[in-house]
Amino acid sequence: MAVSTYGFAGELPGEGVTVQPVQSTVAEETFQTLIVNRALEALGYDVQPTKEVDYNVGYTSIAKGDATFLAVGWFPLHADKYTMSGGDDKFFREGQYVSGAAQGYLIDKKTAEKYGITNIGQLKDPKLAKLFDANGDGKADLTGCNPGWGCEMVVEHQLDAFKLRDTVTHNQGNYAAIIADTISRYKKGDPILYYTWTPYWVSGVLVPGKDVVWLEVPFSSLPGERKDIDTTLKNGKNYGFEMNSMRIVANKEFTEKNPSAAKLFEIIK
């Protein structure tokens, strides 16, 4: 047991210290957060119920000390949020909780093969974009990112950079509900266009290479401090996003006073 060296309960390093976890409204983040919560409890910390907040609120709350940590900080996707909320002066961010997370745009394989679509830039063509029209306005409907998510900034930036505003609509709201509708349309045989990330359950239902295909982008283009980053992967493909890691972001002052928690945040996987 990780805390056995501390002996009796009264010697646990977290005794008497309250911890406030936060996470986004993505239900699947609960699992990663609960693992960290249980580990902190084993160290004696008084872990409060996790609060669901917008990512932006999460970062500012941690910076101010109103919250203790976020278990699912996406990096480099959240780089601008991290920097704008105080960066290394306010946060402790060590270790890689989950690595190898991919994201990007996909369409159904049937439409991709029938029309030779391999790159989202091809949707500048109104005739191709109209294939993915779900509401009759003549534009492609892209199942996109919730307001406040890190990917929202990228998608919005790329729609401008790739000159897709006139032919593609970025559908935002409750991602879980919108992607459920997208899957229903796929099952009816309709063409679909959507953003997603891995690891996430969507790619277990719409399997890349079997049901759907990843779309490349015309060129690398990211917002903010990542504007000069080349998103081309080692295999030569460019899906418009960098590979990401989920990293624990904690209040720096808290970790300085609680080295046991800091070490946990650094090593847990």
The structural domains of the chain, with segments of one domain joined by +, span: 4-99+244-267, 102-226
pLDDT in tens, 215-242: 999 999 999 999 999 999 999 999 999 9
For residues 118-140, average pLDDT: 98
pLDDT in tens, 241-264: 999 999 999 999 999 999 999 999
Phi, psi dihedral angles at 18 (to 5 degrees): -90, 140
pLDDT in tens, 87-122: 999 999 999 999 999 999 999 999 999 999 999 999
Quote the mean pLDDT of the chain: 95
Instruction: Please determine, looking at this structure, whether the domain spanning 102-226 carries the CATH number 3.90.226.10.
Output: no
- Cα(58)–Cα(158) distance, rounded to whole angstroms? 25
CATH number of 4-99+244-267: 3.40.190.10
Contact 92, 250 (CB under 8 A): yes
Angle at which helices 259-267 and 29-42 cross, to 10°: 140
pLDDT reported for residue 11: 84
pLDDT reported for residue 10: 57
Asked if the domains 4-99+244-267 and 102-226 are classified in one and the same CATH topology, the answer is yes
pLDDT in tens, 49-85: 999 999 999 999 999 999 999 999 999 999 999 999 9
pLDDT reported for residue 221: 98
Percent of the chain with pLDDT over 70: 96
